[in-house]
Structure formats: C-alpha cells, structure tokens
Structure 1
Amino acid sequence: MDVGLLIILGIIVVLLAVLFTFVPVALWISALAAGVRVGIFTLVGMRLRRVIPARVVNPLIKAVKAGLDLSINKLEGHYLAGGNVDRVVNALIAAQRANIELSFERCAAIDLAGRDVLEAVQMSVNPKVIETPFIAGVAMDGIEVKAKARITVRANIDRLVGGAGEDTVIARVGEGIVSTIGSSNDHKKVLENPDLISQTVLSKGLDAGTAFEILSIDIADIDIGKNIGAELQTDQAEADKNIAQAKAEERRAMAVAKEQEMKARVEEMRAKVVEAESEVPMAMSEALRSGNLGVMDYMNIQNVMADTDMRDSIGKTTGEDKKGDKSQ
C-alpha cells in the first residue's frame, strides 16, 4: 500500500512538473491578477504555435494597465509576423500620453518596415537636431564659402512607411546650401547674412517624400575657403602656356626637319656634281681618241682652267686684305 501511494505521488509530481513546464501557469496567474483574461488553453496554443507567451502576455498587461484596447490575437499575430510586440505597445502608450493619433495597425506596419516606432513617437514629441558636415559652395565672384547647418526635424508618423531617411534630408539641405551660395553675386553678402541661406533652403520644401518634417534650418558655422576663380584662371593660363609651348615645339621640329631636308638635297646635288666631274676626264679621253678633240684644244682647256684657279686665288686674297683693313 505504501509503495502504491509513493508511485501515485510520483506520477502526480511528474504531471505537475510537465504541466508547469508546458503551461505557463505563473504567467496565467499574473494576467488574472492584472485583470487580463487569458485562457489557459490560449497559452497552451501559443506553446504549440512556438510563440513565447511572455512576449505577448506581458505587453498585453502593460497595454491594459495603460488603458489601451488591444486583443491578444493582434499581438500574437504581430509576433508571428516577426515584429517587436513590446516596442509597439510602448509606442502606443507614448502616443496616447502625447495625444498623437496612432492606431495599432499603423504602428505594427511601421515596426515591420524596420523603423523604430517608439523612437519615431518620441521624435514627434521631442524634435531631433541633425547636424550636417561642412558644405562648400562657390559664389559668383569665385570665392568658396563653407557652411555647416543644424536641421531640426520632427518625425512624420504618416510618412514613416515609405518615407526617405535622414541621409536624404542632409543631401537635400546640402544641395540647397550649394545652390544658394552659388546664386550669390558676392561671397561677402553670404557672410553678412547667413540667415538668407536658411530662409531660402527652408522655403524649398525639402521634406517632401521624407519621414520627417523640417521645423528649422540654422547655419551653425560659416567660413571662407579657397579662391576657386583665381585657381581656375591660373590653371587656364598654365594650360594655354603648355599649348603655346607645344605649338612652338611643333614649329621648331618642322623647321629642323625642313633644314635636314635642304641639307640632304644639297648633299645630293654635290654628289651629282662630283659624279659629273668624274665623268669629264673619261669624256675628254674618249674625245681625244675619236679625234673630236685635238691636243691644242686640250691645252687651251688646261690654260683656261689654270687661269680660272689663279683668278679665284687672287680674288680670295684681295677679299681677306680688305677685311683686314676694315678691322684695323
């Protein structure tokens, strides 16, 4: 009898252990104590659907205590879709406290889109300041102006799904700053009235299609950069000089080539003259053999050639004497 009683007690203990392990009785009791009616079989069904009951029931208790009308099926469905139930409930509570109209469906959609819905609600209450890096623009007088802006934005709940993020806002503001500086005739006007930049940029509606609403754009710092106009003129002058040097070098090369060509022609003519002179003795000997040229004719030719050489020598000597007299 004692052995049978022990077996029965052991079975009861095992059943209770299995019951408390598979069925979150403690969580069920906590929900009942908080006034949230959750059936024990609902919790068992969560276990069967591989849902962690605490991830759904605890946010539901929080929502009921905050006065929100949420059903456990919606929270469980959002959990099964891969959402963060606790963050969604916290965002709904924060929106209710701030009198921001936000439904569970939109809040769940924002969470599933990958955005931090709680941070978005907090940003709607407390706007965020985004600081841009130094953005450089060039005024019409060629002077570079660098400006840094602080953008005060507030989250737009209606455009959180599908709206552009902070990088787009910074890029658009930077584009507006560059455009405003570039349209200024004088960089001094930009330095004197930096608020003209913020007013011009703010009036362009740069927050269209983004998840934010731009409240203000303030120029935090402004500075002078390089003289871009002077650098461009210097670069243009250097380029013109290089082009002129290249053209001069081209002309010089053409002149050198022409000179070489003329020298080659002169050498060719000299070679022809030498070749022709080398044929003269042969022609004279042939004339002598054939009787076309007599001995006396040959002697006369030699006399004429000697006379010509003598005259050339006398002419060269006379020219050198005249040069010497002029130098003295």
Structure 2
Amino acid sequence: MDIVARFFNPDSCDIHLNHGDLLDAIWSWIGVKAEHRQKVAELLSMMGSLRPQSSERKSKWVVIRRQLLQELNLAEAVVNRLQTVNLRFCGAADQTLARLRGALPADKLTRKALDELSDLFTYLRVWRIEKHVYIDVLMPPTESYHRDLFFQVYLIKENNPGSLIEGALLAVGGRYDYLLHQMWGHEYKTSPPGAVGTSLALETIIQHSSVDFKPIRNEASASILVCSRGGGGLLVERMELVAELWEENIKAEFVPTPDPSLTEQYEYANEHDIKCIVILTDTDVSQTGSVKQNVQLLGIPRWLDALTLGMNCKPHHSSGHTDT
C-alpha cells in the first residue's frame, strides 16, 4: 500500500481479503460440490473488482445468478445461499467477521482462518490502513498455492458522483506457506518459515496514475530497528512506533514475528547492518499505558540520537536513557 499510495489517493483504493480455509468453509456451507467450484468461482469473479455491498455489485449479481441457474444448472437453493453469502458475508471487515463467526461452524480450520483475518485487520488498523478494507469470502485466490490469507487491491474510480465503475486491479498476493511445505526437504530439521508474496500491476499503475514520474535519488541514511523485551513481544506497540517513524521519513523496521527474543533481534540488526535499536519494554509502562524507549546507538551520527529522542511519538515516551 505504501507504493500504491505514492500514486493514488488511498481513499480511492479497495483492499479485498480472504482466506483459503474460509473459502472452503463457505463452499461447504452453501452446498457447492467440489467439481462445480472452479466454474462457480469463474462466474463470481465477474463481480470481484466491485466493492462489496455496492449497487454495482448487486446489479452484476443478477447476471451471474441467471448464468449459475441456466449454464451450470445449480439448484436454486444453492444459488439462493450464494446470494445470501454475497449480501451478508461480504463487506466491511469488522462487521463481516462478526457475522461469519456467528454463522459458520466453529471447527478448527474455520476458527483459525477467522482469527488470522481478524489479526490482519488489527495490524492494518495500527498502520492506519483501515478504510475500504473488505472481506470477500467469494473471492478465489489468484494462485492455487495461496491456501491461507490472500488479498487483492483495486483502484476504484467514480463514473458519476456516487456511482462506482469497475475497479482496476493494482496488486495481488498472499501467503504461500503451503508451497514451501511441499518443497521443504526432509533433511531440514526445522519447520519451513512462513512466506508471503505480492505482485504489482506496474503497467496499470502507470496507466492510471496522474503523478509525474521522476528519478528518485537513493540517499544513504541510517535505519532504526524497533525491538521489544518482555511483554509478550509488544507487536502492536512495535508496529505503532515504526509507523510514526515512517511518518517522520525515518527508515525503520521490526522483526516480523510476534515475540522475538532480544538475541534474535540483535542478530537481525547485525545481519541487516542496522546501527540504531529502540527497545520497548513492558516494565516501563506508565499508568497512562505509554511505553518507555531504551535507545541504543551503535556508531551512528549523533544527530540521529537527538532526532530519535526528541521526536513526538504520541503513544510512547522516551526514557532518555542512551547507550553508545
């Protein structure tokens, strides 16, 4: 989304989310047989670029319904359930997740899929990517190995005021842990790592963008690794601080695991040649819920020390303790 936001207003982009296990649960709940699912998915993809709950998507459903009945000879009861899913279980993420939990059987895979979607939406909210995020349980993955979370990003333009036209696909992606598991050799004693990939439609982005493309000068600058010690990993707090550093045009990152050890985080900094580490710890949480920062600077310019400690980080308060 950071790349897309450089060319388009984020409010003009829709993010559609789904999960492979959730899609399987929906097929079963509707009653679509395994041999029909591919054909049904192809027909449903006709409305995939349209915003859930929009009048345009509801109009497209009329055409799809007729084809499901006449061309695929699906039972009317099955088609009616498909319509129910489209109307009730495709929409704004927070509302749709609650409805899905109440309607679907609480088996292990379905519960895990809903939990992962809920966690993802929480993380997107931390990074202020919460507008126009939709759960589309009828959206099939673009790749067969996307068996877990997957997404599609569309550029939505207004044809007339208040009337949306079909969206242009800007990006697709998802987790491909399944593919790694298939390729992981038995000689490896550890489990394969998680993996996620994305594809950008650069030609589409350039075609629809009104931004002038200019050469970008890649200036060397120090990066900050936001770490945690204790507190169960403080993942959300790390993400919040990274987001605020980005807003100040400061390069920052964090180890993308829920609860990494301090050793793992130091090793990550060393491997990525990161000289500045900010450590968040739960032992310094104040009564207001803010988290103090212990900043360690490893041979980087002193101006970054002052910049980091003096920056206005709203949910956080610097302890002012610096090790060099």
User: When the two structures are superposed, what TM-score results if normalisation uses the length of structure 2?
Assistant: 0.19
As a proportion of its length, which structure holds more strand?
Answer: 2
As a proportion of its length, which structure holds more helix?
Answer: 1
Please tell me whether Structure 1 or Structure 2 has the larger radius of gyration of its CA atoms. 1
* Greater relative contact order (Cα < 8 A, sep 6+): 2
